[in-house]
Amino acid sequence: MPDLKNTTLHIGFDDTDSLKGGCTTFLALRIIELLDPHVDFIDYPRLIRNNPNIPWKTRGNGALCLTLRVNDEIVEKVVRIAIETLNELLEEDPNTNPGMVFVLGEVPEEIKQFSRKALTDVILISTTKDIVEKFCFKHYSVGNSRGLIGALAAIGNSLNPTSEDFTYELLTYRKPENVGEKRDFNEKSVVKADSKYSAEVFNNIDEESKKVLIAPAGPDPVLYGIRGENPLILLKMMEEIEVYESISSYCIFRTNQGTDQHFKFASSEVKNYNAFKGEIRTLEKPRTILGGHVIFQGEIASNEIKVDVAAFEPSKSFRNTIRKLLPEDIILAYGGVKYKEEFQGFTIQLEKCEILSVSEQFKEESPLCPSCSKRMISNGLNKGYKCRNCGHKDRDLRKNKTPIERTLSTGLFIPPAQSQRHLIKPFRRYNLPQKDSYFLIDNWWKVFPKAK
C-alpha cells in the first residue's frame, strides 16, 4: 500500500499564555486531539526550554513542537486547524505575542543552529523573521511576533536521542471549573511514588525542604507535572498519585528539562542575558547582602573580565558553599549574565558551580619568644620583635605563617530542586546510562470524556 501520510510536518509554537492564565502545553494537547484522526505523530510533543535568562519570559521560557506525518493533500487543513486552535486558546495580554511556524520535511541546518543560539543568547525578532521567511512553509503570529523565536527554536531542537540528552514530563490538566482554585491532591502519595521510582524520576520533591514540587502556583490549567526518564514509569506514577479533583486530560512531553543543554553551548562571553559557563578566580571573600544573597568579585580566566558572582537567597544551602570561598579559589561557574545599571557592571547569577581548586590560606601571627615562649609584639618598622614578658628583642624574627584548614572541598554543587530552573541537571540525573532512542507508548495522551 502506498504511504499516504508521506509528508513530515513540524509545527512549532510559543508565547500563547500569560500570568493570568493559559498554557502552551495545553494548547499542544488540544491541537494533538484535533489532528489525531488525520495524522500520525512520530514524536512526543517536544517541550523545549530556551535561554532561561531572557527577561520577557512568563515562567520557564518553554516552547512546543509537534512532529507528524500527514498526507500532503491535507497539509493545508492541518495548518488551518493548528492556527485556529491557537487563536481560540491564546491569552489576550499585552505581553503575550504568539508565534507558530510550520516546516515541511528535513529540518534545515540553519534552523538547528538557530535553536542552539536560542538556548544561550538573545535573538532578535527581525533575525528570526528572516529565517522563517526563508525556510518555513507557513507561519502565523500575533502582536510583536516574538513567539516566532521560541516556535522556530523548538522545531530545530530535535533532541536527537543519539546526540542529545532528554527527559519526559507528564502533565495532567484540570477541569475548566477548577482552574484558579487550590490544587487538590495527596502530597504523601507523591512522596511515596517518588521514592518508589526514584531511579527513574526527578525533581518531584525538594530533598532539602521536603516540599512537593509537582504543582504550579498560577491560574493555568495544569494540575501537576511529573518528570522522569521513562514514559511508562510516569504513567504508573500518575496512577499512584491520589487526586481529590478530576483530571480532564494528560499528555507526555519529551523535553530538554533537567539536561543542562544550555550549558553544553554556553561560553564565558560576558553579554547581558546570555547563559554563562566559565572558570572564575575569586578575588575576595564573599559577603551576604540585604535579602540574604551572597556575592563576591571574581575574574573570568579566559578574558580577565572582573564580574560580581551571586548566589541568590532562594538557592538556600548552596549559599553556604559559596560563603566558604576565599581569594584565589577557582570555580567553574554555570549561570546567567546580568548587567546591573546601578553598578555599571556584570553579575554572573549562579545556577550551579564546580569548585575546581581551593587555595592555600595562611594565618599570620607574631612569633613566640625564644626565651620565655610568650607571644611577642612588633618592635617597630624593620626592627623585628620584642617580648613584653621578659624583654627579649630580636631584629631577625619574622611573622609565623600557619596554614588555615579549609572547610571547602572540590566538587560539584547544585542548589536544591525548588530553586532550580527547568534546564538544570539535578544530581539524580548524573551517571545515568545514555538513552539512545524513544518510542511512542500507547496512551501517551488522553482526553477523558466529559461527564454527562
Residues binding ligand ATP (CB under 6 A): 14-15, 17, 24, 50-51, 54, 56-62, 97, 118, 121-123, 146-147, 149-150
| Shortest separation between residue 328's beta carbon and ligand ATP, angstroms | 35
Which of 158, 150, 48, 37 has the alpha carbon at shortest distance from 101? 150
Contact 156, 114 (CB under 8 A): yes
| Whole-number Å distance between alpha carbons of 320 and 311 | 10
Query: Cell numbers 517541550 correspond to what residue?
Result: 47
Residues 6+ apart with CB under 8 A from 46: 64, 65, 66, 67, 154, 157, 158, 159, 253, 254, 255
| Shortest separation between residue 444's beta carbon and ligand ATP, angstroms | 20
> Nearer Cβ to ligand ATP, position 96 or 230?
96
Q: Is the dihedral of CA 413, 415, 421, 425 positive or negative?
A: positive
Contact 142, 90 (CB under 8 A): yes
| Shortest separation between residue 8's beta carbon and ligand ATP, angstroms | 23
| Shortest separation between residue 404's beta carbon and ligand ATP, angstroms | 44
> Nearer Cβ to ligand ATP, position 118 or 235?
118
| Shortest separation between residue 235's beta carbon and ligand ATP, angstroms | 23
| Shortest separation between residue 51's beta carbon and ligand ATP, angstroms | 4
> Nearer Cβ to ligand ATP, position 249 or 321?
249
| Shortest separation between residue 356's beta carbon and ligand ATP, angstroms | 29
> Nearer Cβ to ligand ATP, position 54 or 424?
54
| Whole-number Å distance between alpha carbons of 93 and 88 | 14
| Shortest separation between residue 89's beta carbon and ligand ATP, angstroms | 13
Bridge partners of 347, per DSSP, are: 308, 338
**Helix (H), strand (E) counts: the chain:** 9, 23
> Nearer Cβ to ligand ATP, position 147 or 335?
147
> Nearer Cβ to ligand ATP, position 34 or 122?
122
Which of 330, 317, 347, 336 has the alpha carbon at shortest distance from 411? 330
Q: Is the dihedral of CA 208, 211, 215, 219 positive or negative?
A: negative
Q: Which three cell numbers stand for residue 354?
A: 564546580
Q: CA distances (Å), 226 to each of 36, 58, 222, 319, 342, in order?
A: 24, 20, 11, 27, 40
User: Helix, strand, or coil here: 77?
Assistant: helix
| Shortest separation between residue 100's beta carbon and ligand ATP, angstroms | 11
Query: How do strand 99-104 and strand 138-141 relate by DSSP bridges?
Result: antiparallel
Residues 6+ apart with CB under 8 A from 73: none
> Nearer Cβ to ligand ATP, position 277 or 386?
277
| Shortest separation between residue 93's beta carbon and ligand ATP, angstroms | 9
> Nearer Cβ to ligand ATP, position 7 or 18?
18
DSSP 96-158: ---EEEEEESSPPHHHHHHHHHHHHS---HHHHHHHHHHH-SEEEE-TT-THHHHHHHHHH--
Q: Which residue is nearest to ligand ATP (CB)?
A: 150
> Nearer Cβ to ligand ATP, position 57 or 306?
57
> Nearer Cβ to ligand ATP, position 149 or 330?
149
Query: How do strand 445-447 and strand 247-255 relate by DSSP bridges?
Result: antiparallel
> Nearer Cβ to ligand ATP, position 57 or 192?
57
| Shortest separation between residue 179's beta carbon and ligand ATP, angstroms | 14
| Whole-number Å distance between alpha carbons of 278 and 295 | 17
